[in-house]
Chains A and B, each alone.
Chain A
Amino acid sequence: MNFLQTEPIRILLYLVGICAFVGANAAYLVLAERKGAGRIQRRPGPNEAGFGGLLQPLADGIKLLAKQVMVPPGTDALLFRAAPLLVMAPPLMCLAMIPFSDSITARSLNVGLLFVFSFGSINVMALMLGGWASRNKFAIISSARVVSQNVAYEIPMLLVVITLLMVTGTMDLNEIIQQQGGGFWKWNLFKVWVNPLMPVTFVIFFICMLAETNRAPFDMAEAESELVAGAFTEYGGMGFGVFFMAEYANIVVGCSLATVLFLGGWQSPIGVLSGGLWGAGWFLLKLYALIFTVIWIRWTFPRTQFYSLLNLSWKILIPISLFTLLLTGAMMKLPVVYNHFF
C-alpha cells in the first residue's frame, strides 16, 4: 500500500486510469447512444456483435483502425494531423481534476475549476484547426460556427460558474463537493435560500454544456443535413474516430462538472454512505444519469437554427445568468447590510 502511494506510481496509476476511463467511456457511450436512440425509436440498436451488441465498439474500432489515413491534397497536412490530437488532449487533462470520490482524485488543485475551464477552451481551437486545415468549404463553415457558438456560450457558462463561486467561495472541486454533503437538499441545485433561481442556473449550465460540447440540439459543428459532417468532413479512419471519441469524452467532462457543481459530486443523496467507493458509485450514478439525459435530448429535438442559438445565448441565457449573479450577490450581502444598519 505504501508503495502505491509513492508519487510516481500514483501519477502513473491515475494516468492509466484516466486514459482507460476516457477510452472506455468514449467507446461504450457510442454504443449507449446508439442503443438509447434505438430504444427511443423502438428498434433494438446494434445487437449482432457480441452479446446484445457489446462488442460493437470493438468492431467499430478495428474497422476505423484498419482504414487508410488519408490526408487529402490541398490540406495543411501538419495541422490536419495535429487537430485530432489536440481535440483529445483537453478532456484528458480536465478529468485529472475531477474528484470521483473523497479519496479518488488524480490531482487536486485549489484552482481546479479554473483548470477545467481553461483547458476546456482549447477544444474549440482543435475543431477549428481541423476544419480549417481540411480545406473544405463545409468544414470551414462549420469551424466558423463552432467558434461563434463556443464564444457565445462560454459567457453565460462562466457567469453561472461565477454565481456558484460566490456561493462556494472556493475553486477547489473537492471542497465544493464537501460543502454539499448531508443529503440532496444541500446540493447546490436546491440551495434556494442562497438564490431562489438556483435550478434555473443549473438549467443554464446544462444548456451551455450541451452547446460547448456541440451536442444536439446545438450540434452546429456537425450539422449533417447541411454540412455533411461539419468540421470533420475530410477525416476518415482513426482521425475521424478520435474526433468522435473526443465528443463523448467532452460530454463526460461536462457532465461530471455539472455533477460536481450542482449535484453534490460523490455525496450521497440521503446523507449516508458517501465515502470511498460508495462515493465513486454515487458520482458515476449521477454522471451517467446526466449523460443519459444528454442522449435523450439528442434523439428528441430537431437542431436549432444558428441565429436562434446565438439569440438564445445573448438574449435569454446571458440576461438571466447576469440576473442570478446579481440576485445571489444581493442575497448574500443582504444580511450584512441589514446587520450593519439595524
Chain B
Amino acid sequence: MSLLTALRETVAGFKSLLTGMRITAREAAKPSITVQYPHDTLKMADRFRGHVKLVLDPVTGKSRCTSCNLCVRACPSDCLTVEGIKREGEKKKSVSEYTLDFTTCSLCGSCVEACPSDAIEYSKDYNVVSLDRAEFARMDLLKKLEAEAKVWAEKNPELAAAAAAAAAAQAAAATAKAPAAATTASAPGAGAAPVATTPAPTPAVAPVPAAGVTETRTT
C-alpha cells in the first residue's frame, strides 16, 4: 500500500465520519417522536387484540353468550372457564360465570373466532395493572360486563326499560308456565334494569338476587 493510497483512505474515512455527524445533526433538528406514555396515550387500532371480553348486546343489555363452551375448546392454553345455566322461559342457556386466566392467555384470539354467537370480542385495554396476582389469574369477565351494563343502562334509559320489560314479559310467561320455578330464575340484566330510577345493587357473581325477581314482577 503506497503512502498516497493510505492517505486517501484516511481522508475518505474521515469524510464518512463527517457524513455520519451531519446526519445525526439533521435528525436532532427534527421534532421528538416520543409519546409521553402516562400523560399521552395512543388510540388502539380497531382490530387491536387485547384480552377478551363479553359483548354487551345493545338491545337486551345482556351478554349474548350461550355458554356453548366452543371458546373453551378452541383455547390453546385452557385459560377460559365458562359456566351457564338454563333459565326458564329462555330458549338458550345463558352465562353465569365467565372467567379468564390472563396469566396464561396468549391473546391469540382463537376464542373470539370460535364463538358462534359473537358474544366475545377483544377489549382495548392494553394497560391492565394490578397489585394482586389473583386479579389476573381469575379475571371475572361477567363482572366487567355487568359494570358495563350499568353504564349502558344509565346512558340509554329507554332501551334499558324496554329490555327490562321484555325480560319481565318473558319471566311472566315463564311463571305462567311453571309458577313454582319463578322464584329462582331471572336474568342478571334484569336486576340492573331499574337503575334509571334507583341505583341497582352492586352486581355480584351470584346472578339471581331474590329481590330482583320481585321488583321485576312489580314493574
Judged by CB atoms under 8 Å, the answer to whether A and B touch is yes
Contact flag A301-B20 (CB < 8 Å), given A42-B27, A296-B25, A316-B10: yes
What residues on A are CB-neighbors of B32 within 8 Å?
38-39, 42-44
What residues on B are CB-neighbors of A151 within 8 Å?
none
The main secondary structure of chain A at its interface with chain B is loop
Contact flag A43-B24 (CB < 8 Å), given A301-B17, A316-B10: no
> Which of B17, B28, B33, B34 lies in contact with A40, CB distance below 8 A?
B28
Is B36 an interface position by the 8 A CB rule? yes
Is A110 an interface position by the 8 A CB rule? no
Chain A residue at smallest Cβ distance from B3: A319
Q: Are B33 and A296 in contact (CB under 8 A)?
A: no
Count of residues in A whose CB is under 8 Å from the partner chain? 14
Docked complex Cα distance between A6 and B17 (Å):
51
Chain A residue at smallest Cβ distance from B23: A300
Docked complex Cα distance between A162 and B110 (Å):
75
Q: List residues of B (2-36) whose CB comes within 8 Å of A's CBs.
A: 10, 17, 20-21, 23-25, 27-28, 30-34, 36
> Which of B10, B24, B34 lies in contact with A299, CB distance below 8 A?
B24
Q: Mark A21-51, 1 if CB is under 8 A from B, else 0.
A: 0000000000000000011111110010000
Contact flag A296-B21 (CB < 8 Å), given A42-B27, A43-B34, A44-B32: yes
Is A272 an interface position by the 8 A CB rule? no
Q: Are A296 and B24 in contact (CB under 8 A)?
A: yes
Docked complex Cα distance between A47 and B25 (Å):
21
Contact flag A43-B20 (CB < 8 Å), given A296-B25, A316-B10: no
> Which of B10, B17, B30, B36 lies in contact with A44, CB distance below 8 A?
B36
Q: How far is the CB of A32 from chain B (nearest CB, A)?
A: 13
Kindly list the 4 A-B residue pairs having the minimum CB-CB distance in the complex, ordered from nearest. A43-B34, A300-B24, A39-B28, A40-B28
A-B contact pairs, 12 of them (CB 8 A): A39-B32, A40-B24, A40-B27, A41-B27, A42-B28, A42-B31, A42-B34, A43-B32, A44-B32, A44-B36, A300-B23, A301-B20
